[in-house]
């Protein structure tokens, strides 16, 4: 099996091409900015007397979930950018010809790339989310969101996008593939908002449109699950819903749908890439 | 197709006794693509190491193999340099080393000298001949017919996707053309002698395609017997290019 060779090669390419460096530097800048924001926000919160019980806790939680929402967005963009040209783009450039002529299965190329991108995103999400939780803990003295399930769900959302982009990339060149993947990603994002409004207005149609978009691309639904894991219960949970998460987190079925989605997109990528002519 | 990069629409192919595209077949084949594009963030040594691992070269001889091949293609002094700093010619040479890294029994070279200077071309031709002497089959795809003529034992000419001529080079080129300078009436006599042979009158001389020397002798004899004086007969060399043009334009060998 050469999957690990391709995965390692993919990782090394990202390191060498300074994709990781650029992402790390920008994320570092973002974390600094975020830390400053949390520090001032928390100080103002301390200076404001009164308010319902649990307000401080809720706001701190909101700040963390909001911060992680941005990280999740960066991770999603990174996932799409990394993988959108991974197959067809390289075939068009001719860089994959010599590799595909080796005793390597086409499926090993696809899976190797998937594993490589996933590892990269795992490191990115693990490190940046860990630092963000640490920043909030150090500044506010409150440890919130310190669970594995939140960041793991964020990784799953990125993996869904990698699978989708690889499926497209088995046939389409990078530009149309990128347009399609981003459009689907945005559909899921907007679908989530429509679902929330539908929930408030008690509109079954709007609610169902949201559900449909989540089944089509479950990235937003998986984020909603992640944010529910990260948010504390009670008032804090209510507060941190709104823009960064659903008031009613999706059921466990969504996890099954997400894994099914991943299996389908990867299956398509494997099958289509296996059959294509170079 | 031999490399498993495209699929046949019909029929079966075997490469070195293995079904085409199978891992066992590809393990014995080395390939230099016409585009010779490689991941340019790698160094020359890293590229060869990566391909050596993909080609399942045992770990203990990998470093030695890479060193040898880079020396063979004259890149010993650029081992640690990134491919992005390489010229086209250097890229093609590192590509040739890449094709040879798995000690293949069959090497497919697609236009392997297109980016090389005359010295580089001669080097590659020498390498191809050496491979041939070592028992490696080299499949050379080229539009540079003089190059093909210099290194190949067997030649196939492909026109619009179909093989229109194929065989050993010396057999293919054995059909020759002779030029005859003779008196009036030579053309008629020649036509009578050889019937449907290809005969052209050119500046008062006759150009005739003959299959062999015997035909030449008969032809001259018949012209003389017809009472036409023959002043001069000489062979006109046939190159692979002549053969190619003839085959491509008129479809005959």
Average pLDDT over residues A223-251: 66
If pLDDT is split at 50, 70 and 90, which confidence band does A242 have? low
- Across the interface, whether the CB atoms of A97 and B31 are under 8 A apart is answered yes
Residue-wise pLDDT for A108-160, tens only, equals 999 999 999 999 999 999 999 999 999 999 998 877 766 788 899 999 999 99
Rounded CA separation A77/A157 (Å): 11
Say yes or no to pLDDT of A48 above 80: no
Residue-wise pLDDT for A76-122, tens only, equals 999 999 999 999 999 999 999 999 999 999 999 999 999 999 999 99
Higher pLDDT among residues B215 and B62, named by residue: B62
Could you say which of A13, A105, A277 has the minimum Cβ distance to residue B7? A277
For chain B, the residues whose C-beta falls within 8 A of a C-beta of chain A are: 3-7, 23-24, 26-27, 29, 31-33, 35-39, 41-42, 50-51, 53-56, 95, 98-99, 102
Structure-block tokens of residue B140: 């050379």
Cβ-Cβ contacts under 8 Å, B29 against chain A: 101
Instruction: Answer left, alpha or beta for residue B56, where phi above 0 means left and psi between -120 and 50 means alpha.
Output: left
Say yes or no to pLDDT of B119 above 60: yes
Cβ-Cβ contacts under 8 Å, B8 against chain A: none
Q: What percent of chain A shows pLDDT beyond 90?
A: 55
- Across the interface, whether the CB atoms of A105 and B23 are under 8 A apart is answered yes
Residue-wise pLDDT for A154-184, tens only, equals 999 999 999 999 999 999 999 999 999 999 9
Rounded CA separation B93/B239 (Å): 28
- Across the interface, whether the CB atoms of B53 and A275 are under 8 A apart is answered no
Q: Which pLDDT belongs to residue A238?
A: 55
- Across the interface, whether the CB atoms of A102 and B4 are under 8 A apart is answered no
If pLDDT is split at 50, 70 and 90, which confidence band does A237 have? low
Mean pLDDT of the residues in chain A? 87
Average pLDDT over residues B140-157: 87
Average pLDDT over residues A234-239: 52
Residue A14 CA, chain-centre distance (Å), reads 18
Higher pLDDT among residues B18 and B212, named by residue: B18
- Across the interface, whether the CB atoms of A101 and B50 are under 8 A apart is answered no
Could you say which of A100, A103, A275 has the minimum Cβ distance to residue B5? A100
Could you say which of B24, B37, B56 has the minimum Cβ distance to residue A93? B37
pTM for this predicted structure: 0.84
Could you say which of B38, B41, B56 has the minimum Cβ distance to residue A98? B38
Instruction: Answer left, alpha or beta for residue B251, where phi above 0 means left and psi between -120 and 50 means alpha.
Output: left
Apex A268 CA angle, A166 and B15, nearest 5: 95
Cβ-Cβ contacts under 8 Å, A101 against chain B: 3-5, 26, 29, 31, 33
Question: Within a 10 A sphere around the Cβ of A177, how many other Cβ atoms?
Answer: 26
Q: What percent of chain A shows pLDDT beyond 70?
A: 91
Q: Which pLDDT belongs to residue B103?
A: 92
Name which of A98, A105, A277 to mutate to probe chain B: the one with the most chain B Cβ atoms within 10 A of its Cβ: A98
Cβ-Cβ contacts under 8 Å, B98 against chain A: 98
Higher pLDDT among residues A221 and A266, named by residue: A266
- Across the interface, whether the CB atoms of A101 and B37 are under 8 A apart is answered no
Average pLDDT over residues B138-162: 86
- CB of B164 within 8 A of CB of B158? yes
Q: Which pLDDT belongs to residue B234?
A: 85
Name which of A12, A99, A101, A277 to mutate to probe chain B: the one with the most chain B Cβ atoms within 10 A of its Cβ: A101
If pLDDT is split at 50, 70 and 90, which confidence band does B177 have? confident
Nearest to B161 by CA among B15, B4, B34, B8: B8
Name which of A97, A102, A107, A272 to mutate to probe chain B: the one with the most chain B Cβ atoms within 10 A of its Cβ: A102
Residue-wise pLDDT for B51-90, tens only, equals 999 999 999 999 999 999 999 999 999 999 999 999 999 9
ipTM score here?
A: 0.84
- Across the interface, whether the CB atoms of A98 and B27 are under 8 A apart is answered no
Q: Which pLDDT belongs to residue B56?
A: 92
Structure-block tokens of residue A205: 């149609």
Q: Which pLDDT belongs to residue A118?
A: 97
Q: For chain A, how many residues are written?
A: 278
Name the residue in chain A with its Cα closest to that of B107: A101
């Amino acid at each position: 099996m050469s999957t690990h060779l391709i995965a390692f090669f993919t990782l090394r390419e990202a390191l060498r091409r300074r994709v990781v460096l650029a992402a790390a530097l920008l994320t570092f800048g973002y974390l600094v900015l975020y830390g400053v924001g949390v520090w001032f926000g928390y100080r103002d919160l301390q200076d404001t007397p009164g308010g319902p019980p649990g307000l401080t806790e809720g706001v701190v939680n909101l700040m963390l979930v909001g911060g992680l929402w941005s990280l999740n967005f960066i991770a999603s963009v990174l996932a799409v950018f990394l993988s959108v040209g991974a197959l067809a783009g390289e075939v068009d450039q001719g860089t994959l010809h010599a590799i595909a002529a080796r005793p390597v299965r086409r499926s090993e190329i696809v899976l190797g790339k998937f594993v490589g991108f996933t590892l990269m995103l795992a490191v990115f999400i693990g490190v940046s989310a860990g630092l963000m939780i640490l920043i909030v803990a150090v500044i506010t003295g409150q440890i919130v969101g310190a669970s594995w399930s939140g960041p793991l769900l964020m990784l799953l959302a990125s993996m869904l996008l990698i699978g989708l982009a690889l499926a497209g990339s088995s046939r389409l060149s990078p530009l149309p593939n990128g347009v399609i993947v981003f459009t689907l990603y945005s559909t899921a994002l907007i679908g989530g908002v429509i679902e929330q409004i539908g929930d408030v207005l008690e509109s079954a149609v709007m609610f169902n449109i949201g559900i449909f978009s989540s089944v089509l691309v479950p990235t937003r639904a998986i984020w909603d699950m992640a944010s529910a894991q990260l948010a504390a219960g009670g008032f804090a949970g209510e507060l941190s819903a709104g823009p960064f998460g659903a008031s009613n987190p999706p059921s466990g079925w969504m996890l099954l749908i997400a894994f099914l989605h991943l299996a389908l997109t990867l299956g398509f990528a494997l099958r289509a890439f296996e059959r294509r002519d170079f | 197709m031999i490399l498993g990069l495209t699929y046949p629409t019909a029929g079966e192919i075997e490469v070195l006794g293995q079904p085409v595209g199978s891992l066992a077949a590809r393990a014995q084949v080395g390939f230099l693509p016409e585009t010779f594009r490689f991941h340019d963030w790698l160094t020359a040594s890293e590229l060869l190491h990566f391909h050596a691992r993909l080609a399942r070269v045992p770990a203990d001889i990998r470093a030695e193999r890479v060193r040898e091949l880079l020396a063979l293609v004259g890149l010993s002094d650029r081992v640690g340099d990134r491919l992005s700093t390489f010229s086209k010619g250097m890229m093609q040479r590192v590509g040739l080393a890449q094709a040879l890294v798995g000690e293949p029994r069959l090497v497919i070279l697609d236009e392997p000298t297109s980016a090389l200077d005359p010295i580089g071309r001669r080097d590659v031709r020498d390498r191809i001949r050496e491979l041939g002497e070592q028992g490696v089959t080299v499949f050379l795809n080229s539009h540079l017919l003089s190059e093909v003529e210099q290194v190949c034992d067997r030649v196939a000419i492909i026109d619009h996707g179909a093989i229109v001529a194929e065989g050993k080079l010396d057999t293919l080129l054995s059909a020759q053309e002779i030029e005859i300078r003779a008196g009036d009436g030579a053309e008629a006599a020649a036509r009578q002698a050889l019937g449907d042979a290809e005969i052209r009158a050119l500046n008062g001389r006759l150009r005739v395609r003959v299959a062999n020397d015997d035909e030449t002798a008969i032809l001259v004899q018949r012209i003389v017997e017809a009472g036409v004086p023959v002043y001069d007969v000489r062979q006109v060399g046939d190159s692979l290019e002549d053969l190619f043009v003839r085959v491509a334009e008129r479809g005959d060998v």
